[in-house]
Structure 1
Amino acid sequence: MASVNMADVKRLRELTAAGMMDCKKALEESEGDFDKAVDILRLKGAKDVGKREARTASNGLVAVKHEGDSLAALLELNCETDFVAKNERFQELAADIVAHIVATKPADVPTLLESELNGKTVKELLDEANAALGEKIEIRRFALLEGGFITSYMHKTDPQLPPAVGVLVQLDTPNAEIAKDIAQHAAAMAPKYLSPAEVPAEVVEKERSLFEQMTREEGKPEAAIPKIVDGRVNGWYKDFTLLEQAFVKDNKKTIAKVADEAGVKVLAFTRYKVGQA
């Protein structure tokens, strides 16, 4: 068996993102031939694709693509480790897919996976990356906003990694400063919905039920319970709806107030954080 140069193992790992032992074994099998070792790892990766289906892909990145000021897409592409998230091929794949979303405007993830990009389906491109990088690679979700004025904010939680938080904000009229402020606010405060009116009825009922149970367990007078529950639901809106949240730069104003004073209306927003709902 040929001796293995550890510098080659490291270089092979950086190129392919395969595990250290897999790289070492591939170089041993190829008798030190670097290009042949790459092929061995790719073949192994292709054979292992099916085995990865049940594995969890909770790392990755958020990518964004704009086309002018009124069309933008946000994508969460997942992998299993931050090592692959840093890989150039993984990041290029994300950039290609989010640009493809802007160009083709697919309705949902299944439609996106079946669409054709560079002569192959997006699903085939993911499988190829899965094989080459040795990890489960999957599209978790994407959002596409069109119309009005759209800005984005991307945040790195680790300077060594690609962005893990991404936000799109759509205003009815252009105002770059306010749009950026709201996008940065959303990145920090993680609202789930735009306004109370957009919270699904089943979510409101679930929260109301929990607050009612909590209030009864606290021994509050029966006659006071409805009013207390209403107050707690309104407090929940202030925590989880963007327009009702207190602005991080001035907590005396809500986001709705900030937008109103600037003469704009927030039409929509999307916030993704890798690995979170």
Structure 2
Amino acid sequence: MAAITAALIKQVREDTGAGMMDVKKALTEAEGDVARAKEIIRAKGIQAAGKREGRSAQEGTIASRVVDVDGGQAGYAVELNSETDFVAKTPKFIEFANGVLDDAISADAKTADEVLSAKSDNGTVKESVEEAAALFGEHVKVGQVAKVEGPKVEIYAHKKSAEMPPSIVAMVATDEAGAAVAHEAALQISAMGAKWLSREDVPADVVESERRVATEKSQAEGKPEQIIPKIVEGRMNAFYKENVLLEQEYVKDTSKSVGDLFKQAGGKLLSFARIEVGKGDEK
């Protein structure tokens, strides 16, 4: 059993928003397993509803572009972070972000590490970013990076206000027929933040964890044992409907799903990516 340290308690409190005693009890029950402790907190319904997301949120922008490639198109998006929105919205910062995107595309970079090692005018992107920090007087870094590819690619870049650069970018790869509704799908992704394309894409450990939480929550609510499996299936379906893109209700017509939207167009949604400024892992 792992020791229940103050650091462990702090980590779970920050991630769940639950009280100290609830966290300590959950960690004790989970024998120091952080992931299991979070499950216990969720199952008991004591996770704070209003916990802050993105505690390590940073300012910045996302540069994105669609380029033609053999057999179709590719969409690239690179997040560039600054400390303040004052710097993020300056023309020079936006110009620099687009330059980093140029280098990322030239290197066909798909990860932040690949972007940083890509060649630039001043050696590598990493070296250019370090020099930019001195220029802007703030810590500057490459954040999230994404690439999608298919016969057709659509990008939607969302600005939270007119004076700010894009803070959310959604990219969608479709077949030729799916391109007719690709923009609608990109708007959906930007607004609703799906995590996976289909049920089959949800990792097995995530499914197992969600099912365990749903079961324990039903038991804690005192539901009759014989109907718990049906309740669990209902909760799992709700989980998929919230997090799986093809099963989400289409925001402009909730009588249909995003999957229905593509079926009606006779096309397929092949892959997608969503980046939001400040929502990546802190490095």
TM-score range, shorter chain: 0.7 to 0.9
Q: How far is 1:140 from its partner?
A: 1.2
Aligned residue runs from structure 1 range 129-208, under 5 A = 129-208=132-211
Cα distance in 2 between the residues matched to 1:239 and 1:187: 14
Q: After superposition, what is the alpha-carbon deviation per residue over 1:223-271, rounded to whole angstroms, capped at 9, x for unaligned?
A: 2212211110111100111100010111111111110110110000111
Higher deviation after alignment, 238-247 or 114-123: 114-123
In structure 1, the residue corresponding to 2:238 is in which secondary structure?
Answer: helix
Q: How far is 1:103 from its partner?
A: 2.0
- Which residue of 113, 121, 126 maps to 2:124? 121
Higher deviation after alignment, 163-172 or 86-95: 86-95
TM-score normalized by the length of structure 2: 0.75
Cα distance in 2 between the residues matched to 1:118 and 1:66: 22
Q: Does the 8 A contact of 1:64 with 1:72 survive in 2?
A: yes
Specify the structure having the higher radius of gyration (Cα). Answer: 1
Q: Determine the structure 2 residue equivalent to 1:32.
A: none
Q: After superposition, what is the alpha-carbon deviation per residue over 1:34-62, rounded to whole angstroms, capped at 9, x for unaligned?
A: xxxxxxxxxxxxxxxxxxxxxx6611111
- Which residue of 209, 212, 217 maps to 1:209? 212
Q: Determine the structure 1 residue equivalent to 2:66.
A: 66
Q: After superposition, what is the alpha-carbon deviation per residue over 1:70-100, rounded to whole angstroms, capped at 9, x for unaligned?
A: 1110111111110010122211111011122
Cα distance in 2 between the residues matched to 1:104 and 1:126: 16
Q: Determine the structure 2 residue equivalent to 1:111.
A: 114
Cα distance in 2 between the residues matched to 1:114 and 1:202: 33
Cα distance in 2 between the residues matched to 1:275 and 1:111: 20
The one-letter code of the counterpart of 1:185 is Q
Cα distance in 1 between the residues matched to 2:243 and 2:173: 18
Cα distance in 2 between the residues matched to 1:205 and 1:263: 33
Q: Size of the alignment, in residue pairs?
A: 222
Q: How far is 1:107 from its partner?
A: 4.4
- Which residue of 255, 264, 272 maps to 1:252? 255
In structure 2, the residue corresponding to 1:124 is in which secondary structure?
Answer: helix
The one-letter code of the counterpart of 1:151 is E
Aligned: 1:99 with 2:102? yes
Identity value in percent? 37
Q: Does the 8 A contact of 2:107 with 2:119 survive in 1?
A: no
The one-letter code of the counterpart of 2:58 is S
Q: Does the 8 A contact of 1:57 with 1:136 survive in 2?
A: no
Q: Does the 8 A contact of 2:177 with 2:268 survive in 1?
A: no
In structure 2, the residue corresponding to 1:191 is in which secondary structure?
Answer: coil
Q: Does the 8 A contact of 2:152 with 2:174 survive in 1?
A: yes
Aligned residue runs from structure 1 range 223-242, under 5 A = 223-242=226-245
The one-letter code of the counterpart of 1:272 is I
Cα distance in 2 between the residues matched to 1:148 and 1:100: 23
Cα distance in 2 between the residues matched to 1:83 and 1:200: 39
List alignment gaps of at least 5 residues for structure 1.
1-55
Distance 1:122 1:266, change over 3 A: same
Distance 1:234 1:192, change over 3 A: same
Q: How far is 1:189 from its partner?
A: 1.1
Cα distance in 1 between the residues matched to 2:184 and 2:177: 13
In structure 1, the residue corresponding to 2:267 is in which secondary structure?
Answer: coil
C-alpha RMSD of matched pairs (Å): 1.5
Q: Does the 8 A contact of 2:74 with 2:153 survive in 1?
A: yes
- Which residue of 74, 77, 92 maps to 2:80? 77
In structure 2, the residue corresponding to 1:70 is in which secondary structure?
Answer: strand
Q: After superposition, what is the alpha-carbon deviation per residue over 1:154-179, rounded to whole angstroms, capped at 9, x for unaligned?
A: 11012111011110001022554401
Q: How far is 1:219 from its partner?
A: 0.3
Distance 1:120 1:174, change over 3 A: farther
Q: After superposition, what is the alpha-carbon deviation per residue over 1:4-33, rounded to whole angstroms, capped at 9, x for unaligned?
A: xxxxxxxxxxxxxxxxxxxxxxxxxxxxxx
Distance 1:104 1:174, change over 3 A: farther
Q: Does the 8 A contact of 2:81 with 2:143 survive in 1?
A: yes
Cα distance in 2 between the residues matched to 1:104 and 1:146: 15
